[in-house]
Amino acid sequence: MVIQVKAKRAKTLKEGVFRLEFLNEFQRMAPEIKRDFAATTATWEGEKPKFSHKAFLNEGNPTLQILIGTGKGADKWNWLDKGTRVRYATMTPNFQGKTKVGFIGSFPGRGGLAYVNKQRPRPGIKPRGFRRVIERKWKRPIERRMKAANKRAAKKSGHGK
């Protein structure tokens, strides 16, 4: 008895289909992620940072970046996000910040600036960690949505079940 086996050649992987599907999924996700960034400044008065996004191939890998504009609003946002060692502003006694550490959102707050004295440094701003919190919030949804994009791309390229 002779057993004969023929190997079936696999289809060539269409990388472009996968990359395009990943980039399209990033484009769909970006406005949702930017909404979380914008929520951190929702009750701010005056200048606010502008958030934008960029989806591109980085050394062949699909990448999504959320960009923070420039200007006074962006500086303020970065100070709050990262914190500062010292500050020179003295706030009114009833001051309550509009943002909280580890929270995505913005509250009404109260009080304000009493005066600025460069000769009398005060304790710095506690880092709010906006980026870290948003990154943590989106880690699993991004993984889940990228797996779905991978399945769609496999099906489109003829590698799906």
**Which of these, 70, 74, 62, lies nearest to 26 by C-alpha position?**
62
In a domain, 161, yes or no: no
Tokens of 6: 């023929």
Supply the range of the domain harboring residue 101. Answer: 15-156
Q: Which residue has the tokens 């980085």?
A: 58
The pLDDT tens digits for 93-120 are 999 989 999 999 988 989 888 999 999 9
In a domain, 1, yes or no: no
In a domain, 59, yes or no: yes
User: Which phi and psi angles does 134 have, rounded to 5°?
Assistant: -65, -40
Nearest-angstrom CA–CA distance, 103 and 106: 8
In a domain, 95, yes or no: yes
Domain count of the fold of the chain: 1
Query: What pLDDT is stored for residue 8 in this prediction?
Result: 64
In a domain, 7, yes or no: no
In a domain, 75, yes or no: yes
CA distances from 145 to 15, 63, 104, 122 (A): 18, 14, 22, 45
In a domain, 4, yes or no: no
The pLDDT tens digits for 45-59 are 889 999 999 998 888
- Whether pLDDT at 7 is above 80: no
- pLDDT level of residue 158 (50, 70, 90 thresholds): confident
In a domain, 147, yes or no: yes
